[in-house]
Amino acid sequence: MKKLLLFGACLGFGAAQALASGLPKQSVQALMKALQDSAVEVRTAAAQAFAAVPDAAEQAVKPLEAALVSSADTNEQEALAKALIAADDSGTPKRLCDSLVNPQFTWGNGAKAKAMEVIGKIGQKKMVKWLTDIVAGEQEPAVRAAAARALGEIGGVGAYQPAKKYDKVQEVYVINAK
């Protein structure tokens, strides 16, 4: 019953406005627990609630990151990415990068590319070399493309120059990135 109520409250009309004033600690804890629910709809709704309330998302960064790593659902991944971007935690890019290269983590289908998007949106210049290496050597084309777009998001001459040396296809990704 509580799961259904949480799901309905998060998706209901005007939920974002109701949540904008912040959430009590008990609600943040309930949403963090909901990120581990067996139903993808509940996990997605919890992520959407965190995206709507950045101060709550700031308190749940690590559970949001863990949920993104394991997610195989595109809607859930999108909601988790928005929540992580809203939280704007400076440690998130490094933790996601560490998870990407750690063979102990099992990533959901599409989650690595979504992690690249988060890294690009939070935009730390210190990630440029790492992203450049992903563009040059990652096996999955979608992840390479997302890393190239992340380089474009981070921007600056430092982001463009290292990627330029690899090949024309990857150079086009960087030039056309937002």
CATH of 1-89, one of 1.10.12, 3.40.720, 1.25.10, 2.30.29: 1.25.10
Provide the pLDDT for residue 156: 53
- The dihedral through the CA atoms of 57, 61, 65, 67 has a sign that is negative
Are 116 and 143 in contact, with CB atoms under 8 Å apart?
yes
- Written as one letter, the residue type at 47 is A
Provide the pLDDT for residue 48: 97
CATH class of 90-178: mainly alpha
Which helix (H) or strand (E) segment holds residue 137: the answer is: helix 128-137
- 36 pLDDT exceeds 90? yes
| Helix then strand then coil, % of the chain, to nearest 5 | 75, 0, 25
Top pLDDT among 68 and 169 is at 68
Same CATH fold, 90-178 and 1-89? yes
Any idea which residue has 């890019």 for tokens? 93
Provide the pLDDT for residue 123: 73
DSSP for 62-98 reads HHHHHHHHH---HHHHHHHHHHHHHHT-TTHHHHHHH
Are 108 and 71 in contact, with CB atoms under 8 Å apart?
yes
Token pair belonging to 137: 């050597």
Q: CB-hemisphere CA count at 13 Å for 90?
A: 3
pLDDT in tens, 70-122: 999 999 999 999 999 999 999 999 999 999 888 899 999 999 999 999 999 99
CA 170 to the chain's CA centroid? 22
- The dihedral through the CA atoms of 148, 152, 155, 160 has a sign that is positive
Phi, psi angles (nearest 5°) of residue 60: -125, 25
pLDDT in tens, 117-163: 999 999 778 889 989 999 998 889 999 999 999 999 887 545 444 44
Domain layout of the chain by residue ranges: 1-89, 90-178
Any idea which residue has 């390479």 for tokens? 144
Are 24 and 58 in contact, with CB atoms under 8 Å apart?
no
